[in-house]
């Protein structure tokens, strides 16, 4: 398999030959070093070699940079990478079709500081991995700092990236000068400027992003400098609604104090105030007011007395008449009245 792949690479270098995609197997050359400072090694299958400028780099090799070293690489599709002091990079996968500019190019940023610049392949071809997340690119230049026990930070210089966690939840970063943090727990945080991003465990800017302070040969004219990134975060625009001059301040909607409410419209008064305004029913004072005397109307009692008097008068008259009639009818010995007994004579 390795011989066939190497042959395919050889044929692709010959002019006039049309070849398909180049599938690199483990150990196949997929690029070369452009520069090497101090000690840089490449390890594959327990075989470790020291790299120098112009040496090839191979599929599945782990590139390891010393604490005081650095290196710059160029892959066969013109992808360029810069590795800072102590960086580790795994050349994970490389499939590239130069005719269609398509492929499948993947690298793992294991630890340290990096600058990544896309090459000729179409942008969906690239997948850059960091611990607990992956990055897809769109015509992009960006820096990454990876600290295995803390997390990763990505600083965008040009283009746009999409960062997705292991569960497929993604955030877009399309504003150059901003950073996005991937926590050690795998959370992709909201992009922010340097002065606003969570820098827990992140070294100073010149240490975490050394290619900002000292541009690499693959990108000698960077978009941002250290001071610009710091000022960009500190002077981030704050959206404030326009206001008028002090002589004519804008009206404010405020609550009307109770005193003003009392002047504007009547309100419920306290019991003491009500008592002062009008007398209570319980505390009314009667005032003697002269009135015209009225003729007394006969009451039912008076009429009853008259009726009784009339009845008594009638009784008295009746009794008198009865007495008189008794006398006339012979109530006395001397009387002159006749009785039915006088009609019979003694035998």
pLDDT tens figures, 179-218: 999 999 999 999 999 999 999 999 999 999 999 999 999 9
Rg of the chain over all Cα atoms, to the nearest angstrom: 60
**For residue 129, what are the β-bridge partners?**
108, 134
Q: Is the Cα dihedral 146, 147, 148, 154 positive or negative?
A: negative
What is the pLDDT confidence band of residue 342, given thresholds at 50, 70 and 90? very low
Cβ proximity of 27 and 60 under 8 Å: yes
Residue length of the chain:
347
**Matching residue, tokens 């006088």:** 342
Q: How high is the pLDDT of residue 24? A: 79
Dihedral of the CA atoms 222, 227, 228, 234 (nearest 10)?
Answer: 150
What is the pLDDT confidence band of residue 331, given thresholds at 50, 70 and 90? very low
Closest CA to 30 of 70, 77, 89, 87: 77
Q: How high is the pLDDT of residue 5? A: 45
Whole-number Å distance between alpha carbons of 117 and 128: 11
Mean pLDDT value across the chain: 77
Say whether pLDDT at 44 is over 50. yes
Q: Which DSSP string do the residues of 178-211 spell out, in sequence order? A: -EEEEETTS-BPPPB-TTTS--TTPPPHHHHSHH
Q: Please tell me what DSSP assigns to residue 89.
A: E
pLDDT tens figures, 87-144: 999 999 888 878 878 888 999 999 999 999 999 988 888 999 999 999 999 889 999 9
Distance set, CA 279 to CA 28, 94, 267, 268 (Å): 109, 100, 19, 17
Residue 111, classed as helix, strand or coil, is strand
Say whether pLDDT at 339 is over 50. no
Closest CA to 112 of 144, 138, 75, 136: 144
Whole-number Å distance between alpha carbons of 209 and 221: 15
The model's pTM is 0.63
Mean pLDDT across 280-305: 54
Q: How high is the pLDDT of residue 274? A: 52
Q: How high is the pLDDT of residue 40? A: 98
pLDDT tens figures, 252-290: 665 555 554 545 555 555 555 555 555 555 555 555 555
- Number of helices and strands in the chain (H, E): 7, 15
pLDDT tens figures, 238-252: 455 555 545 555 656
Which secondary structure element, helix H or strand E, spans residue 276, and what is its range?
helix 271-277
What are residue 85's phi and psi, to 5 degrees? -60, 130
Whole-number Å distance between alpha carbons of 251 and 247: 12
Q: How high is the pLDDT of residue 165? A: 96
Q: How high is the pLDDT of residue 59? A: 95
CATH number of 31-234: 2.60.120.1440
Q: Which DSSP string do the residues of 277-327 spell out, in sequence order? A: HS--GGG-----------PPPPPHHHHHHHHHHHHHHHHHHHHHHHHHHHH
Q: How high is the pLDDT of residue 103? A: 85
Cβ proximity of 111 and 88 under 8 Å: yes
Tokens encoding 232: 């960009």
Q: How high is the pLDDT of residue 234? A: 72
Say whether pLDDT at 53 is over 60. yes
């Amino acid at each position: 398999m390795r011989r066939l792949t190497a042959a395919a690479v050889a044929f692709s270098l010959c002019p006039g030959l049309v070849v398909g995609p180049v599938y690199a197997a483990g150990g196949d050359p997929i690029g070369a070093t452009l520069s090497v400072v101090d000690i840089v090694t490449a390890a594959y299958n327990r075989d470790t070699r020291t790299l120098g400028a112009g040496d090839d780099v191979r599929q599945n090799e782990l590139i390891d940079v010393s604490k005081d070293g650095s290196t710059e690489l160029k892959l066969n599709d013109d992808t360029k990478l810069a590795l800072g002091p102590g960086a580790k990079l795994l050349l994970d996968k490389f499939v590239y079709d130069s005719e269609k500019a398509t492929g499948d190019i993947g690298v793992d940023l294991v630890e340290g500081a990096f600058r990544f610049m896309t090459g000729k392949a179409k942008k969906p071809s690239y997948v850059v991995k960091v611990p607990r997340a992956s990055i897809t690119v769109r015509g992009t230049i960006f820096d990454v700092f990876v600290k295995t026990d803390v997390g990763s930070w990505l600083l965008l210089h040009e283009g746009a990236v999409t960062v997705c966690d292991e569960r497929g939840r993604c955030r877009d970063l399309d504003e150059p000068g901003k950073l996005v943090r991937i926590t050690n727990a795998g959370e992709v945080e909201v992009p922010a400027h340097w002065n606003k991003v969570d820098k827990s465990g992140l070294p100073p800017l010149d240490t975490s992003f050394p290619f900002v302070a000292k541009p690499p040969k693959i990108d000698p004219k960077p978009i941002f400098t250290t001071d610009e990134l710091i000022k960009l975060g500190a002077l981030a625009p704050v959206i404030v609604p326009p206001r008028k001059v002090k002589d004519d301040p804008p009206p404010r909607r405020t609550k009307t104090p109770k005193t003003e409410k009392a002047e504007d419209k009547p309100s419920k008064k306290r019991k003491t105030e009500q008592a002062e305004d009008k007398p209570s029913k319980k505390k009314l004072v009667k005032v003697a007011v002269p009135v015209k005397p009225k003729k007394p109307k006969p009451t039912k009692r008076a009429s009853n007395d008259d009726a009784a008097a009339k009845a008594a008068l009638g009784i008295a008259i009746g009794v008198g008449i009865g007495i008189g009639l008794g006398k006339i009818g012979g109530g006395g010995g001397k009387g002159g009245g006749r009785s039915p007994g006088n009609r019979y004579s003694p035998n």
